[in-house]
Amino acid sequence: MRRTRTPYRLIEGELRQEELQPEEGGPPPLHKKMILRHLFAKMTGASITDDQMDALTTYISLIKNKLIPREDWHAVRCDVKEASAIAREYELFKQSGADRLLLDYDDMLTMPMMSWSRTPGCWRNTSAGTTIS
């Protein structure tokens, strides 16, 4: 991020009280759970329960931390209706829902892996194993 000077914002952690209430008709507050709450309601027409939120955030962490390709997300089991579609919309929102890149804690794993895979010569085999140069 620093190398490309890409502006970003971390969207997990504590949320200030004034950030809890979205503007009427406006986008949700820039916080992971608030974005997911908004997307769930938009896509299912219902309010998400605490148990569903826990299941959905666990699902998103699983698919991202295991680096499962987006086209295979639907095959990962989740008790939340439309989980793979909500996860897809969440990732799209993070890329285009603000004036900067929105990152959650799971991105701390996936972003470096994507960067390393795009950088020729970044991985180097040695007799001691694979290292990062």
pLDDT along the chain (133 residues), means of 10: 70 68 67 94 96 97 92 96 96 83 84 64 53 47
Q: pTM (2 decimals)?
A: 0.76
Residue type, 120: P
The alpha carbon of residue 122 and the mean position of all alpha carbons in its chain are separated, in whole angstroms, by 25
Classify 24 in phi/psi space as left (phi over 0), alpha (psi -120 to 50) or beta. beta
Pull the structure tokens for residue 61: 């962490």
pLDDT value of position 133:
46
Q: What pLDDT is stored for residue 13 in this prediction? A: 81
